[in-house]
Amino acid sequence: MKAVILVGGQGTRLRPLTLCVPKPMVPLANKPFVSYVLEHLQQNGIDEVIFSMGYLPDGIKSYFGDGSSLGIKLIYAVEDHPLGTAGAVKNVEKYIQDGDFLVLNGDILTDLDLRALMEFHREKNASGTIALTPVDDPTAYGLVRTGAEGEVLGFLEKPSWDQIDTNLINAGTYVLQAEVLDMIPAGVEYSFERGVFPRLVGKDLYGFGSNAYWMDIGTPEKYLQAHYDILEKNVSTAVSLCLDEDFVCVEEEARLEAGAKLVPPVMIGGGSVIKAGARVGRMAVIGPGCVVGSGSVVEESVIQADSTLEENVTVRRSIVARGARIGPGAVVRAGAVVGEEATIEGDNVLANNIRVYPGTVIKAGTIKF
């Protein structure tokens, strides 16, 4: 069985994290996000994956190569202009032979049982099967209405509360028969959600609901939540092994000075140094090669690789991207996102979801929320 992973989007909602790095390569618990997708596919018996790429494709290819280290054959296709979700799959038609194949949005963290999804699809002899997931607030999503046998009856885009008769949404994972590709025009932007699926209603299109873990990492809030869920083992990933029973994962050659404190759940990347009197956790991931200065506190936050927090820095519920530097006494809190290699000098307070673009320098005492 083959799978196509859609990774061509610009990830605008996750900016500035996606300005230098495409969303699939943004680190999640210190590994590129899409490596979780590949591990999940490999565990479910998929042996060939086609990456459908567009925006910043080079990093993905150079990191994963031919896939032999993962036991999956990897094929790369790059669009010269965005083709939308369905147009992107049409573009890789030559790699898909007859039969069924999987399509996955490349920004979903899930432990969905893909074998059960594929089994359901085959039992129904479906033209397409859409994985469905329940959400608390369906008004923000496109709902999928299904009948007693799981047949898709229709779609309801961003409904008002009085229209809601299901909380199941399209989970961004599909099994399709190769013939469905004949419905997609070549070389133009075309979407599954608005183009292909509405046309397949009544033509053996099914929904497969499950309560598996599901999170799209498309915004900074969800990116943080995915980290909390990995740290709390709400989703099954390889990180769970490192976290062990104490929910503390310290990777190779990380150094904790005497008097440094880790509060679980917490993950410290390889080669990082946590100085005396610093406190990291609960719910914190420090990337490889970071320094957390003495007296600094990191809680409910992600610090990506090679960043430096000097003395008495506070980072709460925020994200600091790769190679950033936060000066003495600075506070980064309440949904702030500091871009790659930005410098926040001391005596600044960043909050209110502020987003600092890569390479920006904020001089001492400039921002006080």
Q: Report the distance separating Cα 274 and Cα 291, nearest Å.
A: 6
Comparing CB distances to ligand GTP, the nearer of 86 and 280 is 86
List residues binding ligand GTP (CB under 6 A).
Answer: 6-14, 23, 52, 54, 79, 82-85, 88, 105-107, 218
**Smallest separation (angstroms) from ligand GTP to the CB of 87:** 7
**Smallest separation (angstroms) from ligand GTP to the CB of 80:** 11
Comparing CB distances to ligand GTP, the nearer of 174 and 247 is 174
Closest CA relative to residue 319, chosen from 217, 218, 223, 234 = 223
Active site residue 158: yes
**Smallest separation (angstroms) from ligand GTP to the CB of 39:** 17
**Smallest separation (angstroms) from ligand GTP to the CB of 306:** 25
Closest CA relative to residue 332, chosen from 306, 288, 302 = 302
Comparing CB distances to ligand GTP, the nearer of 63 and 369 is 63
Comparing CB distances to ligand GTP, the nearer of 53 and 331 is 53
If phi over 0 gives left and psi between -120 and 50 gives alpha, with beta otherwise, what is residue 97?
A: beta
23, 94, 158, 203: which one is catalytic?
158
Q: Report the distance separating Cα 50 and Cα 38, nearest Å.
A: 11
Largest Cα separation within the chain, whole Å, is: 66
Sheet (strand 255-256) strand order: 255-256, 273-274, 291-292, 308-309, 325-326, 343-344, 361-362
Q: Does the CA dihedral 331-228-110-156 come out positive or negative?
A: negative
Comparing CB distances to ligand GTP, the nearer of 11 and 289 is 11
**Smallest separation (angstroms) from ligand GTP to the CB of 107:** 4
DSSP designation for 185:
P
Comparing every residue's Cβ against ligand GTP, the nearest one is 9
Whether 166 and 189 have beta carbons less than 8 Å apart is answered as: no
Q: Report the distance separating Cα 231 and Cα 131, nearest Å.
A: 25
Positions marked active-site: 158
